[in-house]
Structure 1
């Protein structure tokens, strides 16, 4: 084959590989940041440094900028006029609206999960509950670990419903509410010291094991409602 023909064919292929590589890196950064936000590992009002995030993930700043742009479009982050990136602070009205929607959608996912959960999935949910219980037993529980396990516990239940479209909507809700959702687990609150979340998690697990969708849904509603009441009573939200 002539050299010119070889060059003409190879160049687009190489360029394409470069684009795929960048897209893959941007996607990984996006997923990592997305999971961080949904799990409540960042606080409302917290400012994110693009350089710091890039350093932590071992990448350049461009994929981080791409990921932040996507997350800003999903209302998970906001870019201020001075180009500072910040985790949004919800208003009380917005928080209450999201809580109402969560009760409906996550409640439905939990009830369906009680019907469809498989033995392997149930074992995973039990293991997550055991980890949550063990962390609670410490004199000084690790708030970051509690928050991460809490998110994994809830999402493993929702995944058991096998409703991917609903799962996407729930993920979108947690993107907006995640940073403030677990505020009660970060603080030394009565809800934490009295193990309120732990009891509701046990109720959800009991409902799944009994294939009782109504009971599992009721326990979830108690978890969401009591957490929301605590957050509303704190100075964690903006007034209208």
Structure 2
């Protein structure tokens, strides 16, 4: 029973850390300790250690020689590689979503778009990053392709922290950027069941964000 309880807790911690990474709540290069993470989550060190081990295997976290835990730094070369893969897989997902979504799924997508617009209006960069992630994943879940969704989740474990270099970079970037326009086009295409338009809108969204990040020359 103790082993089952510990494993369940480990899975919960893993899910919490995964959500933080994908939603951009952690930044590239940010460091933690097992004790600090355990205290923040409110659990013992063992489930945190097990969750970190899993995330390290997925290249989402690094365990340093001094036992510190670090969000990996992203190189320009790796960022470009991940962008190439994301453009293919996430565009495939949104095409399927436009074709398969039901009314409940559309309502959830629209709700997250509104959350992003509210965060943009405040402006609240952190809330915008979370809303952006929630919008994208509401779309990808609507594709109803579990294997594809799992791959996209793995990619976002690596790319999520880097999105802080875009939407969370400044209030001006959030209020003056084009993300809300791309989101509007994505949602409209899904509402109209237009896979080609959905793909075009998402492609533009990913390229716009990635080109801004590359232009800032923060990636080694």
Fold shared by both chains (TM-score > 0.5): yes
Q: In the alignment, what sits opposite 1:86?
A: 70
Q: In the alignment, what sits opposite 1:13?
A: none
How many corresponding residue pairs? 220
Structure with larger Rg: 1
Matches within 5 A, 1:188-227: 188=170, 191-227=173-209
Query: Contact 2:10–2:51 at 8 Å: present in 1 too?
Result: yes
CA RMSD of aligned residues (A): 1.1
Q: In the alignment, what sits opposite 1:59?
A: 43
Matches within 5 A, 1:69-84: 69-84=53-68
User: Under a length normalisation based on structure 1, what TM-score does the superposition of the two structures give?
Assistant: 0.89
What are the superposed Cα offsets for residues 81-115 of structure 1, whole Å, 9 maximum, x if unpaired?
22211000111010000001000000000011000
Q: Distance in 2 between matches of 1:74 and 1:237?
A: 20
Q: Distance in 1 between matches of 2:203 and 2:72?
A: 25
Query: Contact 1:180–1:236 at 8 Å: present in 2 too?
Result: no
**Deviation at residue 235 of structure 1 after TM alignment:** 3.4
Q: In the alignment, what sits opposite 1:153?
A: 135
Structure 2 spans left out of the alignment, 5+ residues: none
Query: Contact 1:191–1:197 at 8 Å: present in 2 too?
Result: no
Q: Distance in 1 between matches of 2:164 and 2:143?
A: 23
Query: Contact 1:136–1:195 at 8 Å: present in 2 too?
Result: no
Q: In the alignment, what sits opposite 2:216?
A: 234
Matches within 5 A, 1:132-171: 132-138=116-122, 141-171=123-153
**Comparing 193-202 with 182-191, which one deviates more in the overlay?**
182-191
Question: Which of 48, 70, 79 does residue 32 from structure 2 map onto?
Answer: 48
**Are 1:117 and 2:126 matched, yes or no?**
no
Q: In the alignment, what sits opposite 1:185?
A: 167
User: Under a length normalisation based on structure 2, what TM-score does the superposition of the two structures give?
Assistant: 0.97
